[in-house]
Amino acid sequence: MAFLSRFKLDEDIRRYNDEIAGKRSLLESSMAFEEDFNKVKAKIAAAKELEKEGISAEVVDPRTLLPLDIDTIATSVRKTHRVLTVSEDCKTGGAGAEIAMQIIERCFDDLDAPPVRLAGADVPMPKAPNLEAMAIPSTEDIVREAKAVLGK
């Protein structure tokens, strides 16, 4: 299990969510490593890019799968009614699948569309930075999938 540094990143997510409180889409990021929280910042960058196009997104970073802060996630789902899970791990059996399933179990009636999972390629994670960047979702991938969730 990987944990994020709780200092600057928490502040960035809180500040961003304060800016867009009450709007209608959800970007949920699952896991990232402390030494490279730029991956989570990619979700914030994608949300800001979507906002330029008139699409508001809320970023939730649950930190861990166990314990999973499903109450925070459920609150966001009930507010936004749509879900895009974004994680750097594999799609098959990954964190996004577990989070999406828990959302379905707890918030099915609150969803306007099925949750969508965006994850890394189903390959062993490359160690070379240039190959790793190709294997994990980019800001552009997140923006494209978020628009698909909204039917745009």
Averaged over 3-21, what is the pLDDT? 50
Query: d(Cα 13, Cα 27) in Å, to the nearest integer?
Result: 11
Residues 75-103 have pLDDT tens digits of: 989 988 999 998 888 888 888 888 899 99
Predicted TM-score (pTM) of this structure: 0.72
The yes or no reply on domain 8-149 and CATH 2.60.40.1510 is no
What residue ranges in the chain does DSSP mark as E strands? 26-29, 58-60, 84-90, 116-120
Q: Which two three-digit tokens encode residue 100?
A: 């999406």
Task: Domain ranges for the chain, please list them.
Answer: 8-149
What is the predicted pLDDT for the residue at 104? 95
